[in-house]
Structure formats: C-alpha cells, structure tokens
Amino acid sequence: MDVHEAIKAWKPCLAFQLRPLQEDALQRVLNAARFASSADSQQPWRFIVVRDEESKRKLAQAVSKGHFLTKAPVVLVALGVEEASAALLGGYMLAYPLDVAASIQNLLIAATAEGFGSCWCTEFREDKLRELFKIPEGVRVVGVLPLGYPDVAAPTNGGHTPRKTLSEIVGYETYTW
C-alpha cells in the first residue's frame, strides 16, 4: 500500500479480531512514530504498550465508553513530556500535544498499511492512567489507541465521515472563507 492509499484508507476501528498482532509489524508501526517532526526536535512522545489483560481491563475503565479496549490485543497509551517543550508556538501554543499528535498520525498511517485498525480515545481519566502506569509528573497523557486486526463484520467499523473538499480547506494568497 503506498502512502496516499494508507492515508485515505485509515478509518476509525472499534472492534477487533481475537488474533494477536504480528510482532514485527507492531515494531514497524511503533518505529513510524519516531520519524514525526517535533518542535526543536524534542521528540517528547512516549508510548506505553499494554497487552496484559488485567491492565487493559483497568485501562478500559479509565476511558469513557472504553469497554471495547479490552478486546484489542494491544492498547497504546500515548504520552507527551511536557517539560521538554517550554517554547510556546506562535507565542501561545504548547508544542508537545502537536508533536505527539504528529507521531500518532504517523503511527496510524503505518498501522493502516500493516492491516491494523485503530482509533483515538481522548476521553480518559488522566489521574487513573497516571496511577495505573506509574506516569511521573511532567509527563501527560495525550491519547489512548487500541491496535488490532479489524473485525470487518462489526457495525462499529464503519466508513469515514465525509471529507471537506479541497476548496473548503485550502485558500490561495488570502483568507477566503
């Protein structure tokens, strides 16, 4: 699958097959996260790979409507090292959530190319995840991402929300909307 196909093929996946992920494919997906760009090249992203059933059960309880996470063979907890990103972008924006989001997007595209399904979960109780995974001060939870082979028959694995057209999102020379 070339990169354009993988970008377009990505869609949220909330139901997974039971079979475990192929380890070499998982490592390729995690490796893709490393190559995102980050402010000052701080690379503030960290990923906790959760496979243990009991940990997944507790993790699922810390995420709103997260019960489906127990069915994913792997759940990633995406973290951002806040203290590594002191500069405010444009004078107002924290860098680390953007950096971590860029690495997550790399990871999701690579996951799609490997035949994995995934989705973003951001309605989590950070305090619970912090306790569960011993996450220290200065490191923030940015997202929770299940990974697994999609259950193609599941109604929750639908298609994409329709995309805005290019002219709706791209303006030339001036603000056009």
Ligand X SMILES: Cc1cc2nc3c(=O)[nH]c(=O)nc-3n(C[C@H](O)[C@H](O)[C@H](O)COP(=O)(O)O)c2cc1C
CB of 118 to ligand X, least distance (A): 10
118 CB contacts (<8 Å, ≥6 apart)? Answer: 12, 13, 108, 111, 112, 145, 146, 147, 148
- Integer Cα distance of 19 and 41 in angstroms: 36
- Integer Cα distance of 2 and 67 in angstroms: 33
CB of 133 to ligand X, least distance (A): 18
CB of 150 to ligand X, least distance (A): 14
- Residue 161 contacts ligand X per CB under 6 A: yes
If the CB atoms of residues 12 and 28 are measured against ligand X, the closer one turns out to be 12
- Residue 62 contacts ligand X per CB under 6 A: no
- Residue 123 contacts ligand X per CB under 6 A: yes
Query: In 3-state terms, what secondary structure has residue 89?
Result: strand
- Residue 165 contacts ligand X per CB under 6 A: no
- Integer Cα distance of 78 and 118 in angstroms: 13
If the CB atoms of residues 120 and 133 are measured against ligand X, the closer one turns out to be 120
- Residue 13 contacts ligand X per CB under 6 A: no
176 CB contacts (<8 Å, ≥6 apart)? Answer: none
- Integer Cα distance of 122 and 136 in angstroms: 19
Q: Which pair of tokens denotes residue 137?
A: 């001060």
CB of 170 to ligand X, least distance (A): 18
- Residue 176 contacts ligand X per CB under 6 A: no
Rounding to the nearest 10 degrees, give the CA dihedral for residues 165, 166, 172, 177: 20
Residue count, binding to ligand X (CB under 6 A): 9
CB of 161 to ligand X, least distance (A): 4
Per-residue binder mask for ligand X (CB under 6 A), 103-122, x = binder: ----------------xxxx
- Residue 12 contacts ligand X per CB under 6 A: yes
List of residues contacting ligand X (CB under 6 A): 11-12, 119-123, 160-161
